[in-house]
Amino acid sequence: MTLHFPDDAAVARVGFGLIDRTLPKAQWTHAGHFAAALWLLRHEPEAVVRRRMPSMIRAYNEATGVANTDEGGYHETITLASIAAARAFLAGRPPATPLHEAVDALMASRLGRPDWLLAFWSKDRLFSVAARRGWLEPDLAPFDPAQAA
């Protein structure tokens, strides 16, 4: 049963929409963020995704009228932790798993909860300006992407 995307082409549209900044803003949801990350990770090594995705998100935000500031828009710690968790989640699936099924399974896991990062970071630390601007180590528990996934 498909919950978020009917097929892999729909997941690809999210990825391409992020890259070319044509994704409707209403589709840039928690599931949309992870769909884009999983799609990119299926096509590029994690190191490349970690390097490219931040600028993609910043550019997408600007194109959709979202300012990247100390209070909103792009968030470095959340992005990098999510990419690492998405990679670990994808690595735990058979390589032939259709991507739309992987997105559904991820969203049904603890990663599908918008507050999943609060198991590692306190709310004050995670939503600080320092965490938004750059990687900030967690203060509640060590961040292990495989454990998070």
Q: Would you write out the chain's pLDDT as a tens digit for each of its 149 residues?
A: 568 999 999 999 999 999 999 999 999 999 999 999 999 999 999 999 999 999 999 999 999 999 999 999 999 999 999 999 999 999 999 999 999 999 999 999 999 999 999 999 999 999 999 999 999 999 999 999 999 98
Determine contact, residues 85/148, Cβ cutoff 8 Å. Answer: yes
Q: Please state whether 144 falls in left (phi above 0), alpha (psi between -120 and 50) or beta.
A: beta
pLDDT of res. 103? 97
Q: Which helix (H) or strand (E) holds 43?
A: helix 30-43
Tokens of 143: 């961040």
Tokens of 84: 């690492």
Neighbours of 32 (CB within 10 A): 22
Short-list 69, 78, 98, 70, CA closest to 33 = 78
